[in-house]
Amino acid sequence: MPKSVASYYSAIRSEHDDNDDDEDDNDEGLQFSRPRRGHGGSPVLRRHRSDFVSESDLQQSASTRTPDERSSLLGESRAGFFRTYTGSMPGTPRPFPIRYNSHHPSIKISRANSRRGSFSHRLVNALSGTERLDDSTGNLQDSKPSVYVDDRVWYDQFTSTDWVHDSIADAYRVKTLRSRKDLRGRILAWFDGAQGWLLVAIIGCLTAFIAYFVNVTESVLFDYKFGYCSLGWYMSHKKCCSGASLCEEWSDWSKVLGTGGPLNDSSAEYGMFILGVVVLSSLSCLLTLLTKTVIPSAFSLATLDENLAAENSNNLMDEEGRKQNMTPAERFSAAQSLPPMVYYSAAGSGVAEVRVILSGFVLHGYLGVRTLVIKTLALVLSVASGLSLGKEGPYVHIATCIGNILCRLFPKYNHNDGKRREVLSASAASGVAVAFGAPIAGVLFSLEEVSYYFPPKTLFRTFFCCIAAALSLKFLNPYGTNKIVLFEVRYLTDWKGFEMVAFILVGIIGGAMGALFIKASKFWARTFRRIPFIKKYPLFEVVLVALLTGVVSFWNRYTKLPVTELLFELASPCDTFTSSGTGLCPTREQIPEIIRYLTIAFVVKALLTVVTFGIKVPAGIYVPSMVVGGLLGRIVGHIVQYLALTYSHTGLFGDCSIDAAPESCVVPGVYAMVAAGATMCGVTRLSVTLAVILFELTGSLDHVLPFSIGVLVSKWTADAIEPLSIYDLLTNMNSYPFLDNKVRPVFSTELGDITPRVRSDRVIDISASPLVPATELRDKLNFLHLAGELDGGLPIIRDNILTGLIPAPDLEFALDKLENEENSLCLMSAQVRWAAQDDSDDEETGGGGERQEDRTDFTPYIDPAPVSLEIHSPMDLVYECFVKLGLRYICVLRDGRFAGLVHKKAFVKYCKELEEKHH
């Protein structure tokens, strides 16, 4: 007979033979063991201990059976580790996590997309001599023949975090830790509570250090396009000249090359400028391409960076753009015929992916050491090149990488993805804090944009992380001004009542521009970027964009400046006024000329921002969108200023006088800041965060109201033109299992309307016997994988009654541990006690005093109390369960009997279709 079945049925016969002896013990349960050597095939029937494990039993066993914060997640499983504990009530936390790496000799660890690919782990192992440093690139294409591999990791690639499991596991860990009342236990409990504060403080300091490195380095490289400092090659123009109007220490390229005449001088500087833009951007792209990752086509993803030209799997769609009605096997075969998807983890800003990761989606390697190092270096080059991009968005990705890497120092966070995401929320906030020098705005950014789960404890730690980052940046002083903000402006003139109409108009225009930017970027990407040659060689596109930028930017002062310096000039008030036609402080007569000059800069900068978004270099959209809006706002500000000065006698402009200074009545810099915030809001749909960023940049309490009005009107306008932000659009294109917790659809159905019918391939029926052949379980697991549910689950039913559920990753791990899968039966019911170990049984313990685990006992992997809802439950309740609890799936019951299972991905798809129907 196959393994396990003989002992089980022999025990049943033995139960009848010994009925007289044990009839009084039936309520305690039976415990069956495998036959001992020398005793034939008859098992020994033993009385089972109480099914309930008391608190004291768990505390006493913690030191021997329970992993604590010092236990290794991927350590070898201990003998007897998979013993089943039944709590006093359904859902009682098990005293151990169940996702451990498989170290069985027969299992070949060949996974390409596991955490084994982490560079830091491989380096540590190589230095310690425990593992040979692998020179593989971590290319997921290697796993194409078999999408589902046999190496067990904490969470599979492209699956969702099990928030409920992580929360329960951490609750048990804390309960076990605090059960110790001795001095050492109190110290451990104190240190456990201090780990989070220590971790976010380190993250804030390191984020500030990297921001300092990027700011200082890119400013030096940026100035190399115009010349160099004779005092030192490492000095920027600002540091070399120290504010002097005539700087002899700075050598322009025209002087170095020895050309004569104004035309030749201009040509030499023009040529060197174009060369600098192309070379620096090309180097940045080459670095970015080092993070190339190939994903097999069986994973239904379109893109993992800001590539709006990504194409969906057309042959998997019908004529109306919906998925064809195929069987899982047919769909998998069709997907295999598609070309693999290529993405670059260092490209773009990474904000969209960080938001999805914080919602529970798993992307191994996207927040690794390799991505951190390459993106930091490539960001320096891309910003220094002068392309129309910013460094503020990539700071969010870089800071999140730092948080993810440092989580490995503390098992409390390293072994629990739910807890890890609390730290990642604080990390993302510190990125905004150092980008804008706005720690409060960083906290609001994490709350408003990226975080999915943000309890009050996380809010306070996020604030602490942002303060640590801001203080560190203050001491490092990257700008040489003893300030942490990008720029600091002070408006001495308060705004007038009549200007509120202009502020509202600026907000409307800014919101419309932001929404039109999204549409223009999508149009450009789907026309130009889908050209086969451009699609195949992303470096060629970067060279073309850099060449275009260099050619058109040189001749206008405001397109040639760095984006942060340009935004500072646009927002600054004026002290003195000149008659120059290109200065931002003109007299009344020169205002039309500066409006014309700024209009040219606005058109050039807007077009360059559209074509630059999505190229394969680290690039943010925050400050470029603010610059485009700032140019437009400055134009509107000068128009209002001109009208106020010219028609001051009409009384429409308050007490403005034509004889007063131009900015005594209207300050165009305020309009630039309002329009900058409005345009950025139109692109990203940030609201409160933006108002606080503008306030922290200017420090002007008097102008908080104009900033807020502009952002509010902008958001309403942008939502009317384009419902999705740029990051929402990218999330939808990738088909991420991202359930937006900020926008609830209007449901008119109930749970039964989206519940698929029960199929034998998707359930484990133990009505006839609690023992199920391993081959049958493997077939059911493969069926889930073919359907794309790597993180799905198989409900266990007896006579149509739901008795439990086994997650697909845990079932795969358990099957991989079997020595002989073809000839094994697996126990799938926790109510039947078998394979019990007796402490006095020397044969069972192998003479070593340790219990031998039975690999066919799958009960430790079973969730005895999966979350279930009645089939007539309203969809609003289903939405709350998926969003608030972070569930992967919900079991559906009809009159107490199993009626189906709804996966989170299916519910997200339903919500997206509902949203598209309403729009």
Q: Which pLDDT does position 853 carry in this prediction? A: 59
CATH class of 198-291+345-476: mainly alpha
Cα separation, 912 vs 17, whole angstroms: 61
- Helix/strand/coil for 876: helix
Task: For 475-494, write each residue's pLDDT tens digit.
Answer: 998 887 788 877 778 887 78
> Average of pLDDT values for 568-588?
75
645's CB contacts (< 8 A; 6+ apart) are: 588, 656, 658, 662, 665
Q: Which pLDDT does position 682 carry in this prediction? A: 94
Residues β-bridged to residue 872: none
Task: For 862-918, write each residue's pLDDT tens digit.
Answer: 888 899 999 999 999 999 998 888 888 899 999 989 999 998 888 888 888 887 776
Q: Are 546 and 385 in contact (CB under 8 A)?
A: yes
Q: Are 62 and 53 in contact (CB under 8 A)?
A: no
Task: For 312-327, write each residue's pLDDT tens digit.
Answer: 544 444 444 445 555 6
Q: Which pLDDT does position 329 carry in this prediction? A: 61
Q: Which pLDDT does position 203 carry in this prediction? A: 96
Among 2, 446, 46, 401, smallest CA distance to 207 is for 401
Q: Which pLDDT does position 156 carry in this prediction? A: 61
Q: Which pLDDT does position 151 carry in this prediction? A: 32
How far, in whole angstroms, is CA 614 from its chain's centroid?
18
DSSP 140: G
- Helix/strand/coil for 200: helix
- Describe the strand order of the beta sheet including 793-798 as a list of residue ranges: 764-765, 793-798, 801-807
DSSP 95: S
Instruction: Give percent of the chain above pLDDT 70.
Output: 73
User: Domain limits of the chain?
Assistant: 198-291+345-476, 498-734, 751-834+855-916
- At the fourth CATH level, the homologous superfamily of domain 498-734 is Clc chloride channel (1.10.3080.10)
Task: For 401-422, write each residue's pLDDT tens digit.
Answer: 999 999 999 988 988 888 898 8
Task: For 108-144, write each residue's pLDDT tens digit.
Answer: 333 333 333 443 343 334 333 343 333 333 343 333 3
pLDDT classification of 305: cutoffs 50, 70, 90 = low
> Average of pLDDT values for 695-699?
82
> Average of pLDDT values for 439-450?
91
The more confidently predicted of residues 30 and 292 is 292
The C-alpha torsion from 719 through 720 and 726 to 732, rounded to 10°, is 90
Highest mean pLDDT among 72-86, 110-124, 428-442, 446-460: 428-442
Alpha helices in 795-845 (DSSP H): 808-816
pLDDT classification of 296: cutoffs 50, 70, 90 = low
* Average pLDDT across the chain, whole number: 76
pTM of the model: 0.78
Is the pLDDT confidence value at 261 over 70? no
Q: Which pLDDT does position 111 carry in this prediction? A: 34
111's CB contacts (< 8 A; 6+ apart) are: 143, 149, 150, 151, 153
Task: For 370-410, write each residue's pLDDT tens digit.
Answer: 999 999 999 999 999 999 998 989 999 999 999 999 999 99
The size of the chain, in residues, is 919
Residue appearing with tokens 């780990």: 195
Q: Which pLDDT does position 664 carry in this prediction? A: 78
Q: Which pLDDT does position 42 carry in this prediction? A: 30
| Domains 498-734 and 751-834+855-916 in one fold | no
Give domain 751-834+855-916's CATH architecture: Roll (3.10)
Is the pLDDT confidence value at 852 over 80? no
